[in-house]
Chains A and B, each alone.
Chain A
Amino acid sequence: MTTPRPTIQPWSRQVRSMRSSIMVVATLPALLAIAILMLTQWDFSVVLLCVFLPMQVVAGAVLGALSFGKRGLKDAILMVFAVFLFSMVFVLLLSVLYSVISTGIGALSPHFFYENNRYVNTTTSLDYGGVGHAILGTLEIVLIASIISVPLGLALAIYLTQSRAKHLAVIRTIVQALSGLPSVVSGLFILAFMHFFMLQPSGLMGALALFPLMLPTIARVAEESLKLVPPDLRMGALALGAPNYRAFFRVILPAAKTGIVTAILLGLARVIGETAPLLLTTTVGNITNFNIFSGAIATLPTYIYSFLGSSYDVSQLRAWGGALVLLILVAVLFISARVLTRKKSTKRKSK
């Protein structure tokens, strides 16, 4: 005869018994804060920080101290702060998403995705024009920037983790310093370069301006993920008679694959929304431009920027639409990158 599986786990019993008191403790300060907000004219953030949060801390601390003593006291206080800060960030994220989606959706229509800006001015109705040229420009420029940055960034990470060179600390510091470079400075540098060599704004110049921003992000994240590969694996490969490069490409790199993909995605995320360096180096284009070597070229961030400056409602709406398309583009890129890389590893497992 087998013992039937109990419906509740032993460890959740004590949590259950405390649930009612937790509910009271958690909701009382919130109710009081709402009451104060309705009865007085106090500012919301004042009530949140000066009434709700202290009350929540005190109530949590009392409950924690009563149930678990000193340990419960510390636990409750840290828990309240952790949840509070998490909620702040989460609400912030949700509100950004909400405002972009709810406003931007008004600008969306099928033609908004593929038409360009050629005959559009600040008062043109939304029945005409779209961000097609800007989507193309963003993809072109980010692709070129990636073609330059990804191999160099990965090479840098490989150098920092696999070589025995003496000056690694210096190089690491420089890479870290580079990752703090303000994007507009990178744009200015390329602009000065363009003036010096008499070059016209083009997609290539934009990609060059994004390169110093993308490189350190990729290099640092890839370095961290390569460092996480246990040295045992490298030793195992070398003991089988592998030259260093084969041990790296066949054993270490596959083991760090997920981290490398993350590094590339974070590099993309770093530059896909950049505006300032592109305004300086590509200017704002209005037409579809497949040629990255010459001519003004539009990207989603510069598209948003150019319409946000106008006071007409229809232009503002175009900017919101552009922002929404940018969000969608980033989501599509990230999700597809994850799905593509995950499929390979699961296929191998089930094979």
Chain B
Amino acid sequence: MQTSPQVASTLSAQDINVWFGDRHVLQDVNLVFPANQVTALIGPSGCGKSTFLRTLNRMHELIPSAGLAGSVLLDGEDIYGANMNAVDVRVKIGMVFQKPNPFPTMSIRENILSGLKLSGRKIVNADEIVETSLRRASIWTEVRDRLNDQALSLSGGQQQRLCIARSLAMNPEVLLMDEPCSALDPGSTRRIESTIEELSESMTIVIVTHNMQQAQRVADQTAFFLAEDGNPGEVVEFGATEQVFNLPVDARTNDYVNGHFG
């Protein structure tokens, strides 16, 4: 059944190195995202967090000059392996972008079902999928009477939750979120954060954020990325959120989370 929550998976990145052209932008990133945990990636702009996030569901390879070394294991299987293709990977590992990007030519309902259509799946129980997905993204009560309205008629915060619901309709094992709240007001941000909390019961979540409080509120573990003076970005500190924020091992983490730079 497509609507019943799947078992979440563990995602682990091993020795990830990324290049754009000749520029080395990420070096030796090793992170493990355990099932049903929320991991926050923090760090100043340009340190490679979003780039790293995009290597996790093979969106990275869409950039023409991109290069990559290392492997990403989804339940032990390398998503860059010879017998995997990008399209199947992206079905299992969903993504929500910084700017809400609902499909403008489709209604709210069609947006929810778009993932299934786009990946060529048969749609059984369309109504049920639409309702469940919208409920899980906590937007159902706001849109249930206008499912056939244009997606663009929604407010920015609602559009973002619609995009989350659109990813959820695919029932991904892992959900990647690239600063999902950076364009939203505090109210919408709060709703999305509580959504993330509920979702972590059924999937693994990785979220990039510039908001320290948000990382502390939603994340079980936190990774701090830093790229210093033209060096490629790397993970300076990785551990339980509380430890990264309150008892960081590295002095640079301490400076960053306390607002001394960045």
Bound-state Cα–Cα, A250 to B103, Å: 10
Q: Give min CB distance, A39 to chain B, whole Å.
A: 62
Bound-state Cα–Cα, A345 to B105, Å: 8
Instruction: Say which one of A13-21, A105-113, A141-149, A235-243 lies at the interface with B.
Output: A235-243
Contact B97–A240 (Cβ < 8 Å):
no
- Chain B: how many interface residues by the 8 Å CB criterion? 33
Assuming the contacts A241-B91, A242-B119, A250-B118, asked whether A348 and B107 have C-beta atoms less than 8 A apart, the reply is: yes
Chain B residues whose CB sits within 8 angstroms of the CB of A164 once the complex forms: 64
Assuming the contacts A246-B118, A251-B118, asked whether A239 and B57 have C-beta atoms less than 8 A apart, the reply is: yes
Contact B118–A232 (Cβ < 8 Å):
no
B167 at interface, CB cutoff 8 A: yes
Bound-state Cα–Cα, A164 to B61, Å: 13
A181 at interface, CB cutoff 8 A: no
A10 at interface, CB cutoff 8 A: no
Bound-state Cα–Cα, A239 to B118, Å: 10
Residue of B62, B117, B148, B170 near A351 (CB, 8 A) is B148
Chain B residues whose CB sits within 8 angstroms of the CB of A239 once the complex forms: 57, 59, 90, 94-95, 97, 167
Chain B residues whose CB sits within 8 angstroms of the CB of A235 once the complex forms: 59, 62, 97, 101
Chain B residues whose CB sits within 8 angstroms of the CB of A240 once the complex forms: 90-91, 94, 114-115, 118-119, 166-167, 170
Chain A residues whose CB sits within 8 angstroms of the CB of B87 once the complex forms: 241-243
**Binary CB contact string for chain B from 69 to 87 against chain A (1 if under 8 A, 0 otherwise):** 0000000000000000001
Contact A230–B170 (Cβ < 8 Å):
no
Chain B residue at minimal CB-CB distance from A243: B87
**Binary CB contact string for chain B from 86 to 113 against chain A (1 if under 8 A, 0 otherwise):** 0111110011010101111111000000
Contact B88–A241 (Cβ < 8 Å):
yes
Contact B90–A230 (Cβ < 8 Å):
no
Contact B97–A236 (Cβ < 8 Å):
yes
Assuming the contacts A241-B118, A251-B118, asked whether A233 and B104 have C-beta atoms less than 8 A apart, the reply is: yes
Bound-state Cα–Cα, A240 to B104, Å: 16
Chain A residues whose CB sits within 8 angstroms of the CB of B167 once the complex forms: 239-240
Chain B residues whose CB sits within 8 angstroms of the CB of A250 once the complex forms: 114, 117-118
Contact B120–A246 (Cβ < 8 Å):
yes
- Chain A residues touching B, range: 20 to 34
Chain A residue at minimal CB-CB distance from B118: A242
Contact A241–B97 (Cβ < 8 Å):
no
B235 at interface, CB cutoff 8 A: no
Contact B170–A241 (Cβ < 8 Å):
yes
Chain B residue at minimal CB-CB distance from A164: B64
A172 at interface, CB cutoff 8 A: no
Q: Give min CB distance, A88 to chain B, whole Å.
A: 39
Chain B residues whose CB sits within 8 angstroms of the CB of A246 once the complex forms: 117-120
Chain B residues whose CB sits within 8 angstroms of the CB of A233 once the complex forms: 101, 103-104
B25 at interface, CB cutoff 8 A: no
A257 at interface, CB cutoff 8 A: yes
Bound-state Cα–Cα, A250 to B117, Å: 9
Contact A236–B105 (Cβ < 8 Å):
no
Residue of A232, A241, A345, A351 near B101 (CB, 8 A) is A232
Chain A residue at minimal CB-CB distance from B115: A240
Contact A237–B118 (Cβ < 8 Å):
yes
Most buried by A among B95, B102, B117, B118: B118
Bound-state Cα–Cα, A246 to B106, Å: 15
**Binary CB contact string for chain A from 223 to 256 against chain B (1 if under 8 A, 0 otherwise):** 0000000101101111111110011001100110
B3 at interface, CB cutoff 8 A: no
Contact B101–A236 (Cβ < 8 Å):
yes
Chain A residues whose CB sits within 8 angstroms of the CB of B107 once the complex forms: 348, 351
Closest CB pairs A-B (n = 4): A241-B91, A242-B118, A240-B115, A241-B119
Q: Can you give 16 contacting A-B residue pairs, CB < 8 Å?
A: A233-B103, A235-B101, A236-B101, A236-B163, A239-B57, A239-B59, A239-B95, A241-B88, A241-B170, A242-B87, A242-B118, A242-B119, A243-B120, A251-B118, A254-B103, A257-B105
Spell out B's residues near A (CB within 8 Å): 57, 59, 62, 64, 87-91, 94-95, 97, 99, 101-107, 114-115, 117-120, 148-150, 163, 166-167, 170
